[in-house]
Structure 1
């Protein structure tokens, strides 16, 4: 089911000698009527999994680009309920696994037991919930697990190795390795300690490790992927979609498939 779809999709890419690429888009940025075409475009462009943001008024982990996309979606009237209804409507045409990135408040308001059931019916494969620490995830993890939905755990560049080990041991689908100490957003350079951090997470993780936050160029995709199983890119993907730069987006996704060695 959901967990298996994510794991199978990532493993297939790895078995082919490539790296996974997970683009992030904000659901309903430009209207929910565009969502099916957006997902199909990402699917056909080689996305391994799609991370789909749920618009929320207080997105603590999001940088300016994603915050702006969320505000546009909120102004368009997008809600979690409407999103799940739309996903259910289009799920038969979407083959790429979809993971919802959201915060705990909308999920509690929706009702976590109902959420898990409705998300599974809508073809959702899992959730990323950055404001729920491991110690508090009992409020939602059992409900997701009962519907075979993945709860993607996050580790950070400032996490002690003991905590990283504990988090990855509970991880579903893949581990989201946050590559910066801060919010999302494109960055010109990545921290020099990034390589050793990703290698450390990879050594202890029983599931694939994907790096996200701050990755925005094909060169960064290739460089970062050397030390993990793939990357997650959000702000730059949103910028390309909003700017109609389809070819640039295809090239960005393709950077994970063009050979991993960097001179």
Structure 2
């Protein structure tokens, strides 16, 4: 059973939107990424969107592309990522966890086996950024068999026909893209036209709408909520914090291993900044402050 409805119901009662950070599992190492995920939760994340490293992440901008490469360099496999998620799930049984995974991964594994593995790890939803909704039927059917919510992207300035299709196919939430292009904070989000898109999606009884791409500051979260979105997803801004601390973490790991004080200090510096960032972004979701 998906955990998203309970989360959105709780937040609506508290007059809040959802704040969902994205981070790459395995970046800069699988163990460090697990500490990062815990810091995001400690900071107040309402749910998680977790990436799985892939060699050709065409929907991502340079910041998240580098996260893919760091995780691959650390040897993080899909199985490693599922093990991290399973441990997080054990500690946080009610937290919605979504995965962003490129379509080659389920193709290589086999759709039914892929979604069954995700369900066994405790994943609630899967977003395939390179699979458009017009090609989604086979994926959605396999997801449904495993009890996984399929999430699809509502592109900016999409036609009414596309929005209707996304609304019909998505479960858990709809990922509404705030602007054209790839992920990244190099270009800010835009809420122009978002209210109309949200209204169209909701007219089709869609799942709650989350705004993503270019969300890097609390005021952008507040704007997304004010425009009618049920929450905001921030990825590149989170990954930039990880990237800034990764050299120190990796250097300490290489020099003396995970048990040394230098490594512990490097991880703690990174996770402290992440907790602070998430706390500030979450505070902007309070509707009564707008």
TM-score, structure 2 normalization: 0.83
SS of the aligned residue for 1:52 comes to: strand
Q: For 1:1-263, what aligned pairs fall within 5 Å after superposition?
A: 1=1, 4-95=2-93, 96-187=95-186, 189-191=188-190, 193-206=192-205, 207-227=207-227, 228-243=229-244, 244=270, 245-246=273-274, 247-257=276-286, 259-261=288-290
Unaligned runs of 5+ in 1: none
Larger Rg: 2
Q: CA deviation at 1:62?
A: 0.2
The structure whose residues are more often helix, as a share, is: 2
**In 1: Cα distance, 2:17 partner to 2:224 partner:** 10
User: Alpha carbons of 1:124 and 1:222: their partners in 2 closer, same or farther (altered >3 Å)?
Assistant: same
Deviation >4 Å, runs of 4+: none
Structure 1 position 85, deviation (Å)? 2.7
CA distance in 2, matches of 1:153, 1:210: 11
Higher deviation after alignment, 100-109 or 249-258? 249-258
Point out the more displaced range, 143-152 or 77-86: 77-86
- Mapped partners of 1:72, 1:42: distance in 2: 19
1:38-79 alpha-carbon deviations (Å, 9 max, x no partner): 222222222111000111111111011100111000100111
Across the aligned residues of Structure 1 and Structure 2, the Cα RMSD in angstroms comes to 1.9
Deviations 1:165-216 (A, max 9, x none): 2220222011110111101111464446244444444542522111000111
CA–CA separation in structure 1 for the residues paired with 2:242 and 2:99: 19
State TM-score, norm by structure 1. 0.91
Distance 1:213 1:159, change over 3 A: same
Which deviates more from structure 2 when the two are superposed, residues 47-56 or residues 134-143? 134-143
